[in-house]
Chains A and B, each alone.
Chain A
Amino acid sequence: MDTNAIEVRGLTKRYKDFALEGLDLALPYGCVLGLVGENGAGKSTTIRLIMDALERDGGTVTVLGRDNRSREFLDLKEDIGVVLDETFVPEVINAKQMGKIMAGTYKNWDQAAYDGWIRRFELPLDKKFKDYSRGMTMKLGIAAALSHHPRLLLLDEATGGLDPMVREELLEVFADFAAEEGHAVLLSSHIVSDLERICDYIAFLHKGRLMLCEEKDVLLDKYGILKCSREQLSNIPEEAVHGKRVGTYGVEALVEREFMPRDAVVDRANLEDIILYMVKGERK
């Protein structure tokens, strides 16, 4: 078996007003990759390109060991569960009918598993989608995505707009799924705290460009927040500073620890700090 569930190389998609340029990503089996970025950064476009739902302008995409443009990829979709940021199912459909639609769609649809998820999520069977809350809608999408026994889950903003209780519950489901052998999860979100909790790898997209893609623990070890005076900062190597905020009493900068002098006090940076400094922090 290949080591990566998803491998993306030089992926490019250009629109009139937006371009995703030269994206490189790899999601190893057994891991959760968090795709983070602001609205419009290209997260949904990336997921659509991975599923070959959009024509790409360049690059290669391999999913579960197959080129996503190959003939076999259609059969491979049986092994991929997808949850989009909305359910995209007509609002007059209910959970019972959704089960029947999916039973007619997936060869390995498991109705008992679906019923189990519906019970676990306490979803009403006969209520129409239009009367569902966002949390219920996302849960139904997840129930449908998990009930054909996928090996790979692609989740596009699946936790966005949900209350903390529901988010917690769903993150647990995703983490349990990824823990099973031969499984992997790609989770796109702009809720960085969710990603920090369950992801093994983080990819950060900004305006269609990949700013970083690294193992989460490596990232957290690599970067830190340095609080110092302007003079002290000027003594730090330029390549070590990835963003800074200049205040009245001094400077706060996102720095790479390995370049820091021994006596420098560098605080721990969380994922949100790293991302915000990289995007908003004034470059040195």
Chain B
Amino acid sequence: MIGLLKKDLYVADKSGRLLLVLALIFSMVPSMGAFGSTYAMMMAVMMPLSSIAYDERCKWDRYAAMLPYRVGQLVWSKYLLSYLYTLLGGGIIVLGAFLRGMTTGAADWKETAEMSVMLAVVMLFITALGLPMLYRFGSEKGRLAMILCMGAGVGAAMGLMGIFGELPELPEIPMPVVAAAVAVLAVGLTWLSFRMSVYFYRKRQNGAYT
């Protein structure tokens, strides 16, 4: 597994470093608001996506099938890559806030923590939804399918808000319960997503989607 991650990090090398530096710069600029965090999230989405595109271009999967890896390991390495970049993105948000605080004298740690948690949750869901699509449709069509799904989700949410005017008052739920519910949902969704990705990966390996 280490070998697979190393390969993906070497592939991302220059573009990855550039994105990291840009995300850090955007996180440091006070007037940019949440843009830095959004950019860090975009970076975390982009890296596994471009890694799969690179694999497709050089037909890495054919070579990887000869190496002592299970299909599950080959697929899981992309999930890990996504989580790794999410961690990096979170680290950048925190570092940006720290540096911003040093220059302006006031770092909003509460907002930073909220941003980091939001990034982690959003990325968990994007990874869980996106990777099976990439394995099913390939990097080109899969990317489009991902964007369409995310657009449909946002559109549906906005539509519902339009219909109901505003969200009904929800009963006060303790934060630990919300956090536990989200965690269980994320784990369940990730497990389902992983099983689907493995299934699609095997089918693709056997020429089902060519």
Contacts and interface: CB of A to CB of B under 8 A. Distances in A.
Interface of A: 15, 48, 51, 53-55, 74-75, 77-78, 80, 82, 84, 86-93, 97, 100-107, 154
B11 A90 contact: yes
B91 to A, nearest CB: 23
Contact of B65 (A48, A86, A100): A48
Given A89-B60, A90-B55, 17 more contacts: A51-B65, A55-B202, A74-B70, A75-B68, A77-B66, A77-B68, A82-B63, A93-B11, A97-B6, A97-B7, A100-B6, A101-B3, A101-B6, A104-B5, A105-B4, A105-B67, A106-B67
Contacts of B58: 87-91
- Where chain A touches its partner, the secondary structure class is loop
A104 B13 contact: no
A104 B5 CA distance: 9
Contacts, number: 84
Nearest to B67: A105
Contact of A54 (B6, B54, B55, B205): B205
B209 interface: no
B6 A84 contact: no
Contacts of A89: 7, 58, 60, 63
A106 B207 CA distance: 27
A105 B3 contact: yes
Nearest to B207: A15
Contacts of B11: 90, 92-93
B59 interface: yes
B31 interface: no
B62 A53 contact: yes
- Ordered nearest first, which 8 A-B pairs have the shortest CB separation? A104-B3, A53-B65, A105-B3, A104-B2, A88-B63, A77-B68, A82-B66, A97-B10
B18 to A, nearest CB: 14
B13 A92 contact: yes
B60 A77 contact: no
Contacts of A91: 58
B69 interface: yes
A103 B58 CA distance: 21
Nearest to A96: B10
Given A75-B68, A105-B67, A93 B10 contact: yes
B62 A88 contact: yes
B9 to A, nearest CB: 9
Nearest to A47: B66
Contacts of A82: 63, 66
Interface string B187-210: 000000000000000100111000
